[in-house]
Structures are given as structure tokens and as C-alpha cells.
A and B are shown apart, each in its own frame.
Chain A
Amino acid sequence: MSNLHELYGRRGRIITDQDAQEISRVEELAYDLKICQVMTSQVKSVPPNISISNVLEILRLGRISGVPVIADGALRGILSIEDIVRAMEKNELGAPVSAYMSREVVSVNGYDPVVKALETFSEYRLGRLPVVDEHHQLVGIITKGDITRGILTALQKDYKEEELRRYRASHLFDDITSDRTSLILRYNIRARDYLNGGQASSYIKRALLRLGASPQLARQCGIAIYESEMNLIIHSDHGGTLRVQIEPHRILMQTTDDGPGIADLTKALTPGWSTATQDVRDMGFGAGMGLVNIRRCVDKMELDSAPGKGTRLLMEILLRPEDRFKEPADPEATL
């Protein structure tokens, strides 16, 4: 958790363009991924007594820009192109590595998150860092290139997983043969639970997208469900239930609660009319637009309520032919 706080602490400040470009899902990954997951572990190293010109050859052949210097199993320094350039300027390419290597080696631990390496890069203005284990033995080396590669691989994995989920779900109706297939999602909504307001709507929207719904349809359902979910949170005595029935040709949504019930249905459906308290209005709710919004999003809406009884709101969206979920072409054929 401390990492998270750090993350948000940093996000709270005014940041530069550079920072802004770097903050993203990528930044989350920078916290999730460990250095040892992205580092290069087959590390070339050199002893301190060989000549710099030898190292130059090693760098050239390996297409790398620096090597750790190891003596008696321990990390003694690092020799990078910059050090070699200094040696070149003095015409001392024949000098031993120990004469030009950087001795004050900044290293990172393999089990630290990638963000630690990023921070160390910018703090010390370095291009590569040796990675050590808990016994300070060299286990790898990390460059910004390794991080980019590691993050891209992780992003691709994320993407593939979502694609796979979506692929599987989108064949749900297609793969199951019945005379009438429907998928029912149920959510219990607690009264006054503003913290989780919109959670069920988000889940439902995601489910629809995975089932292959168009973004527009998912949004349309999301809005209708959000408004009805918030109505349960804001107005119901004891919360209520939200039920979504997805069928190949339509989506049925229903909220049910056990009170207090609506006194005047006509007023409730009037744009701008609201019984919300001032506290709730201060949060931006209670615009008196909820039911009006729902009506705009659905093909059919039925509001059934009486004071002291409870409220049932039924919403139905009929799917246009191009929005329908795929069904087996001919159920008989597959039986």
C-alpha cells in the first residue's frame, strides 16, 4: 500500500509535460512489474585489469553501452561508453579498466518494482543499472530499453487476455443452443452506498462489451442502469436489487426495492423534479433527470410504485438487427 500512496502523492503535484506523458497504465505496470522480470540476466562482465580497448571490442560485439566490472565475485564498478570516451580523449585506450571505471556504483535490487529503477535513472542521470540480489551479487543489468520491452510485453499480455475473454464471451449465445437463451446478472445495491455508486453499472457495461455489444449500446445500457442504481442508493429505504437479463434480441433491466415508494409518479417523471435532500444535491445528484435520462435510453420503461410499498422499474432495450447477439443459425441443425 505504501507504494500506492507514494504514487498518488506524486500525482497530486503539478507535473511537467514529460511526466504527464509517462503517467499511464504504463505507470501502473511500473509498480506491478519487478526489476528481475524485465532485466537482462545474461550479463557480460569484465575484470578490472583488462585494457579499455578490449572492453570497447566487447561492447561493440555485444551491441551494449556498458559493462559491470567484477573482481572476486563482487561488483567493483561499471565501465560505460562515457568512460571510454574520457579515455579516448586522453589517448589512453590501453589503460586498465580500473583506471576509468565509475567506482561509485548505484545498483538496484531485483525484487524492487520497475519504478524504482526509473527513479534511480532520473535521479543519477544513468542509462543502465546493475541489478543485485539480497547478497549483493550481480544478477543482471537493467536499461530503459529493458523496461520499455518489459512493459510492452505486459501490455500485450493484458490486451490478449481481454481479447480472449471477449472472444469467449461473445460466443456465449452462439455456442449454447436452447429455445430461449438469456444471461441474467443480479446485483444487490445498498442504500446510501455512494462509494460504490456506479459499480454495478460499470460491471454490466463491461459484461456487455465482452459479449460483443457495440460501445454505443453498452453506453446506452450503462446510463440507464446507472440512473436506476443511483435511485436505489439515494432514495430506497433498505437498498434493492438490480437485475439485468441479456437475450440475443433484447436487454431487460429491472430494479426493485421495498420502500419508501413514489407518491406522485407524474411528478417523478417530470424533468427537474427531485425529492433528493440538500446533502445529496451538493454531491451533484438530485437534478431530477434520472428517470428522464432512463426514458431516453430505453425502448420501454415501466414504473410501478406506491408509497409504503416500494418501487419496481422495468426497462427494456430492443436490439437493432446489427446489435443482436449472435445465435446459432438454426437450432434444429445443431441438435
Chain B
Amino acid sequence: MTLQEIITQLNLTVLTAPHPPARIKPTGGYASDLLSCVMAGAKPGNLWITIQSHINIVAIASLNDLAAIIITENSIPETAVLEKASQQGVTLLGSSENTYQMAGKLWELGIR
């Protein structure tokens, strides 16, 4: 399933999308708000679900080659974060749902 289909089906807000989402196929997911756990646990191409929205999430996604970050509970990042994400080619998505709900829905879509 492509990132674009996920965005549509889960009604995610596209905050920045420097890559064509229609061509990215997430390889799985990882949920945590602890950055070092994400560094250790997330695999390249994964979607990362977190409530963190500060600037350091961008480096985590970029260094780990993550498919996108889904920021939950309407935790909207500041402009500087969006700017940096755009520069580094990191896709940021937003949702009003919490991390648990988001993970469940992705699981149901077959992102496992």
C-alpha cells in the first residue's frame, strides 16, 4: 500500500511531503515517543507514529530513512520544523487520533 493510499484512507493531514507519496510504500511501522528507541527500533521505510513534534524528530527520520512521521493528537509542529523537514526530504503527516488508535488503524490496513 502506498503512502498516498494511507494518507487518503486514514484522512491524514499532509504537513510536508517532499517525496511523491504515491511512490512510497511503507515497509512497516514503529510507535514511540522516545527518540533513541526509534533510532534503535524503526527500520528504513517504516512509518513512525509519535506525539513528538519538535525539531529533532526530523533528524531521526532522515538518519533512519523513515517513510514518514505521523504526528498524533493534533500536535502541529512549528514552522521551523516543517522547514527543516522540507529541506531534508522528510514527510510529516498529522492526525487528530492518538498513537494507539493510529497504530491500530495502520495495522488493519495491513502495515505490519
- Which residues on A are within 8 Å of B, measured CB to CB? 4-5, 8, 11-15, 17, 19-21, 23-25, 28, 194-195, 197-199, 201-202, 205, 215, 219, 222-223, 226-227, 230, 283-285, 287-290, 292-293, 296
Contact = CB atoms under 8 A, between A and B. Distances in A.
A68 B98 CA distance: 54
B18 A25 contact: yes
A195 B21 CA distance: 27
A219 B44 contact: yes
Nearest to A13: B13
B52 interface: yes
B39 interface: yes
B34 A8 contact: no
Given A5-B79, A289-B37, A292-B40, A194 B54 contact: yes
B27 interface: no
Given A14-B13, A25-B19, A219-B63, A283 B37 contact: no
B93 to A, nearest CB: 10
A289 B59 contact: no
A286 to B, nearest CB: 8
A260 B55 CA distance: 26
A222 B20 CA distance: 24
A227 B76 contact: no
A223 B36 CA distance: 9
A23 B17 contact: yes
A259 B89 CA distance: 35
Interface in B31-77: 33-37, 39-40, 44, 50, 52, 54-60, 62-65, 76
Interface residues of B, number: 43
Given A28-B18, A289-B39, A223 B63 contact: yes
A283 B79 contact: no
Interface in B71-112: 76, 79-80, 82-83, 86, 88-89
20 contacts: A4-B83, A8-B79, A8-B82, A11-B15, A15-B13, A17-B4, A17-B7, A17-B8, A20-B7, A21-B22, A23-B17, A24-B19, A197-B56, A198-B62, A202-B62, A226-B63, A230-B35, A283-B35, A285-B35, A289-B34
A227 B76 CA distance: 25
A14 B86 CA distance: 18
Contact of B56 (A14, A21, A223, A283): A283
A205 B79 contact: no
Contacts of B1: none
Contacts of B20: 21, 24
A93 to B, nearest CB: 43
A138 to B, nearest CB: 35
Most A Cβ at <10 Å: residue of B54, B58, B60, B63? B63
